[in-house]
Every structure is written in structure tokens, then in C-alpha cells.
Amino acid sequence: MDVNTAFKSACRVLLGREIGELREFEPYLLRVINPLSQKASSLSKKKLYIASEYCKGAKLIAYDEMEKLKIAPLNINKIKDMDSLLCEVSERFYYCGSKNLGNSMQVQESDECIDSSFVHHSYEVLKSEYVAYSAYIRESSYLFGTSWAGGSAFCLSCHGLHTNTRCFETYYSGNLTDSHFCYQCNGCSNCLFSFNQRGKHYMIGNLELAREKYLEIKKSLLGEVAEELSKKKAFPSLFTLVD
């Protein structure tokens, strides 16, 4: 299964249906991270991906080009003081992009991925799989448009998660399952538009409902969300909705 197929699977889990191809949602999913920059290697001009914060004009190489660098040892006779040392060393400085390490496979347009597979346009990803347009991900799977998440799965457009499962538009929450549009909720499940809740279930806002009633409303609401995502390839963030 590739990343695009995994995205469709995640949408079925989270929204009850597929909403389109992964590439169509690139601008929407990149909202939560600083996008990677596509640069050219100073050695070969091949494409590489690296964080956008590096200084302009810096010399860059791809990780798989490091062995191609032929750098002579420093000439100790030219080093008289700090300025001469910096002058000698500066010619040897290269920033390295497209660093995908360990047992990684099927990693595309990404940087700093370790022991991860099926990753697209993401960075700082460790021991994870099926990740796209995300950053700072640890031991997670099926994450899209998500940043700062660990031990989580099937999350879309989220930030600041710890051991969350099946969440959409959720922020700074932990041990949360089957919840959408939530903020700072912990140890909860089946919550919609809930903020600062602890150990709650079947909540809409701060109101707890009977399971059947909650699921009825949730199905209707997520149907509308999926329809708008399918048509517009975007959806307002939680912060925009409550502004």
C-alpha cells in the first residue's frame, strides 16, 4: 500500500468516506508545518529537500552524496588565528538535505526520517509509517497534516498529540480516541467541539449525550465535513471556526 492509498483509508476511518487524492490536499495539509524547501545540490544539481530556515546561499548536498565530497585535510601552516581558521573551514561547510536514515523505505520529498517507511513531504519522522505533510512524528502511523505527535494513529490535521487514535482537527490532547475538533482533552473518547475535558465520553461541547444520540449527530456532521473537503479540498481550522 502506498501513501495515497493509506490517506484514502484514513479518510474512510475518520470521515466515513474517501474525499479525493492526497496531492489535492497539499496546501490544506501543510497548514500545520513549515513546508520543506526544494533545493539543488551544490555538487550535482540534483533535487533535495531541507528545512526552509537554512540561510540563503548556503552550500547543500544530498545525504547520499556525502561520500562524493573530496576534501583535503586542513593545511596547518595556513592557520594563524581564528580568522584564518574560519576562512579555511568555511570552504568545507555543506548543509545536508534529504537525510533518510536507518531502515527506511519509500521515503519521498522528506528530510530527517529514521527507521520509517511510506513517508511523503515530511521531516523529523522516527519509527513511523504512512505519514505525509507532517513533522516531528514519533512511533505513529496514518498521520496526515499533523505535527508534534507520538504513539498516534489515523489522525488528520492535528497538532500536539500523545497516544491519540482516530482524531481530526484536534490540538494539544492525549490518550484521546474517536474525537473531532477538540482542544486540550485527555483520556476522552467520542468528543466533538470539546475543550479542556478529562475522562469524558460522547460529548458535544460540554454536553454529554446518550451514545445513540451522539453517534447520530456525529454521522450527520462528519458527512457535511467530508462533503466540503471533497469539493473544496480544504476545511476551516478549529481556531477559525470558534473565532
CA dihedral over 111, 232, 16, 5, signed as positive or negative: negative
96 pLDDT band (50/70/90 cuts)? confident
Q: What is the pTM of this model?
A: 0.89
Q: Cα separations (Å) of 216 from 22, 32, 85, 168?
A: 28, 30, 70, 18
> What is the C-alpha to C-alpha distance for residues 235 and 27, in angstroms, rounded to an integer?
11
DSSP assignment letter at 53:
T
135-192 pLDDT, tens digit per residue, is 999 999 999 999 999 999 999 999 999 999 999 999 999 999 999 999 999 999 999 9
Reported as a single tens digit per residue, the pLDDT across 34-93 is 888 888 888 788 898 988 777 777 888 888 887 777 666 666 776 767 776 666 667 777
d(CA 121, CA 106): 11
**Under DSSP, is residue 62 helix (H, G, I), strand (E, B) or coil?**
strand
For the chain, what are the domain ranges? 3-35+101-242, 39-97
Determine the Cα–Cα distance for residues 5 and 105; give it in Å rounded to an integer. 16
- CA atoms lying within 13 Å on the CB side of residue 99: 14
With both helix axes pointing from N to C terminus, report the angle between 211-232 and 3-15 in degrees, rounded to the nearest 10: 140
